[in-house]
Chains A and B, each alone.
Chain A
């Protein structure tokens, strides 16, 4: 089915502030194929796509469209060629109808007026051609996420796009919505539309793709034809065949069973079914890793433990005492929480390091009557800055203007100033440079040595293996696997999270 090459990127190089992100990458999409793009976090997938769609400029290399060299500098260039990107954060306009969205800014007109008849007909034709479950006149407000995504696709198709780029399209879809999307992808392929499909989910990639390009550490790791796409092989290629202890692809887990139970979660169940019947324990001085794919329900579980969201049923006890589900109560009991969405939930951008570090700790900062002791507050801030090397070390610096790594240190720093019993960190190093990562790992390890129980939620397999003493893997709202006192590899964790049987390991 697949025909001539439609898009080709040759010898692409890109580095950010001297750090190479893409090195000599080749990428080629044929007409009418579904081409999957895979790789671990940080392998360079999204950078490559951003270069192809003109968001980033490339340092070296050349992009060819239907055999001719082209320059793509912005999204408009991209559209002109016939490339459409289906955004993760949907860009449909809810108060408008399906047809209005599809033809936004290009409405067919009759004099000054929009020709709704024509527009709806044109939309209907598109819908019929690709058999989308949509009606041109439905207001988008009343549609689910899955259908909104289809509108985005339709919008791309209405501009005669020959190539659609889908970045984690199923991330926020329900099972049935995803099924619908897969059917439509098949449909599009049979009509000769090419699709670049970026996903972490192996099962989807096996099911859909004609070819698969795997990136590893910014380089081409492999291009696999359909018959070569075998789960074990893909996982091996993504992680790298060299099983090297220091690279963190393999680890012997050790649990100290004599340590007392600190946190006991029993039968925790979500009101909207994002997780069910979750039970586990964390011991004193233990770092428990929670692995699994994005959307597996890990964040929801730890939010419920900390008390941000209330679980429908279940019980959480800390040192044998039942916890009240509220952040305030959790903090007073000795729980710390570092949220996943740092920018929106982690810190107050307008405020200084001092104010951010002190925010949860005013119960332990000295006061003269009602007045906070500025000296004591500043002292705490200085201690935090020193303890975890926050830069700039100016305690009055606004946190909003700092680098991601230092922002995260501020978020973490405030918990280090308290007597913690349990620290929950959700994706602690997302978007953070390598140096800061290592520092954060050693902070977590030190905390554990001092008897704090730590829960680490992370999608970074290397990180999961590196910090965890014990690993639980979640999949679709359930805990599906525990790794304890065994030798574990990234492949085993990945396979468990993907729901792939264990043939990956020998």
Chain B
């Protein structure tokens, strides 16, 4: 009688299937440690970012400014490093400043959204333009390169064969997982996303919890921006373009509901890794990156439609039951 619980095992199964398919199609190229570390390196920025934006998704919000905030903070860290004389100390100040900018941006999002009850979609759409403009202002609309060793180390240094960003991703995932899974704040985030009215009646400060989520999203976006700038040894207003979609896609594939209340950090990281494998696989198959969107888009539609169908099945069954039993739902 036990039904196979698809939703529980589907994610690891998809990953395994992916690995198997790629191993068969491109055994030599895919199954090397080097490639493995490459995959992780390329997913690390998405992974870092999704660790914070998952908070926003969990309360039913969205952040369309990820890409340009990433650019803006990347520019901030690079410009400050230059301004203070390219010393390791300057790099530190730059990093702190960029993180502060990210947190502040998130706070502004949260404040506007909760105070005026405006859809997150609109607010972050507008700030997206603002961050882009600010990044362009700071760089004079040019690419600013930065080869200060202390800075490039962030993206390039390897420990035990894996680049530093991979460890960043892991640390962020652990922190994010810890907050969501272990702290009172994390419990409140799920509660607010699941039912904000019941949360308020249970004494939760809904507005404060929501603003916190946007701040965390801003922070990880900034960290992503710093890492990306360091990896590419440069920053410009187009740093991180495309990342908004990638991060949202990673979340959605990872089972994070954009309606709020559902989703886990391991799921989101899974989404990021799958995106990375997808990118890597397409790359190994010599599919240009510009074509990858086709596959990514179809993957999202199939994943979500499948999910929606299961939900519809359940509610249909329930509706039939109600008609028969006359339960009030």
Residues of A within 8 A of B (CB): 14, 16-17, 21, 47, 50, 55-57, 306, 308, 326-328, 330-332, 337, 339, 343-351, 355, 358-360, 362, 370-372, 374, 404, 414, 431
Contact = CB atoms under 8 A, between A and B. Distances in A.
A330 B183 contact: no
Pick the most buried of A17, A358, A360, A370: most chain B CB atoms within 10 A of its CB: A370
B323 A57 contact: yes
A348 B203 contact: no
B69 to A, nearest CB: 27
Contact of B190 (A326, A347, A351): A351
A332 B328 CA distance: 34
Interface string B246-270: 0000000000000001100000000
Given A359-B187, A370-B183, A348 B198 contact: yes
Contact of A348 (B183, B195, B329): B195
7 contacts: A306-B201, A347-B198, A348-B194, A349-B195, A358-B187, A359-B187, A371-B183
A327 B201 contact: yes
Interface of B: 178, 182-184, 187, 190-191, 194-195, 197-205, 261-262, 323-329
Contacts of B182: 370-372, 374
A331 B203 contact: yes
A379 B201 CA distance: 24
A330 B187 contact: no
Given A57-B323, A347-B198, A431-B328, A371 B203 contact: no
A16 B326 contact: yes
Contacts of A343: 329
A347 B204 CA distance: 13
A56 B139 CA distance: 68
B326 A50 contact: yes
Nearest to B328: A431
B198 A345 contact: yes
Pick the most buried of B190, B191, B194, B198: most chain A CB atoms within 10 A of its CB: B198
A258 to B, nearest CB: 33
A360 B325 CA distance: 34
A349 B194 contact: yes
A349 B329 CA distance: 12
A372 B198 contact: no
Pick the most buried of B201, B205, B326, B329: most chain A CB atoms within 10 A of its CB: B201
A350 B183 contact: no
A371 B178 contact: yes
A362 B184 contact: yes
Contacts of B197: 344-345
Contacts of A351: 190-191, 194, 261
Nearest to A358: B187
A371 B11 CA distance: 28
Contacts of B200: 308, 327
A267 to B, nearest CB: 25
Contacts of A414: 202
Given A16-B326, A328-B203, A346 B198 contact: yes
Nearest to A335: B203
Pick the most buried of A348, A371, A404: most chain B CB atoms within 10 A of its CB: A348
A355 B187 contact: yes
A379 B183 CA distance: 17
A187 B317 CA distance: 44
B192 to A, nearest CB: 9
Contact of B194 (A328, A330, A350): A350
A337 B199 contact: no
B262 A350 contact: yes
Contacts of B184: 362, 372
Contact of A327 (B183, B195, B203, B327): B203
A465 to B, nearest CB: 24
A431 B228 CA distance: 56
B249 to A, nearest CB: 22
Contact of B183 (A331, A349, A372, A404): A372
B10 to A, nearest CB: 18
A350 B191 CA distance: 9
Contacts of B261: 348, 350-351
Contacts of B204: 328, 359
Given A16-B325, A350-B261, A351-B194, 15 more contacts: A56-B323, A328-B204, A328-B205, A331-B202, A332-B203, A339-B198, A339-B201, A345-B195, A359-B191, A359-B199, A359-B202, A359-B204, A372-B183, A374-B182, A404-B327
Nearest to A56: B326
Contact of B202 (A344, A350, A360, A370): A360
